[in-house]
Amino acid sequence: MKCPECGEKMDYDGEWETMVGFYSPPNHDHNDNCLIRVYRCKNGHTIKLSKRRRCPNPDCDWIGKDECFCHPGKKLDEWPE
């Protein structure tokens, strides 16, 4: 991923999640806590991104919300490379 400010390569330097309790049916994971990474370039520019969660059960189509108050912008379906 390239820095939108200077064009340098960005790497994530940390990953964390919020800690709200969620209920899931047996054999499901409907955890909608925000999974957040902070990406940083060598010039110190940062971007905070969040990934939308999905239930890993192949018979379930649950998808978490795509926005949250704790980070800017919509959640991504996959982390940037």
> Does a structural domain hold residue 66?
no
The answer to whether 33 and 52 have CB atoms below 8 angstroms apart is no
Reported as a single tens digit per residue, the pLDDT across 32-80 is 888 899 999 999 999 999 999 999 999 999 999 999 888 778 999 999 8
> Does a structural domain hold residue 34?
yes
Q: Considering only CA atoms, which of 4, 17, 23 is closest in space to residue 51?
A: 17
> Does a structural domain hold residue 19?
yes
| Residue 27 amino acid letter | N
Does this model's pTM top 0.75? My answer is yes
> Does a structural domain hold residue 63?
no
Which structural domain, as residue segments, surrounds residue 16? Answer: 10-51
Residue 54: CB atoms within 10 A of its CB come to 14
| Residue 11 amino acid letter | D
Alpha helices in 13-73 (DSSP H): none
> Does a structural domain hold residue 47?
yes
Reported as a single tens digit per residue, the pLDDT across 6-39 is 999 999 988 888 878 788 889 999 988 888 999 9
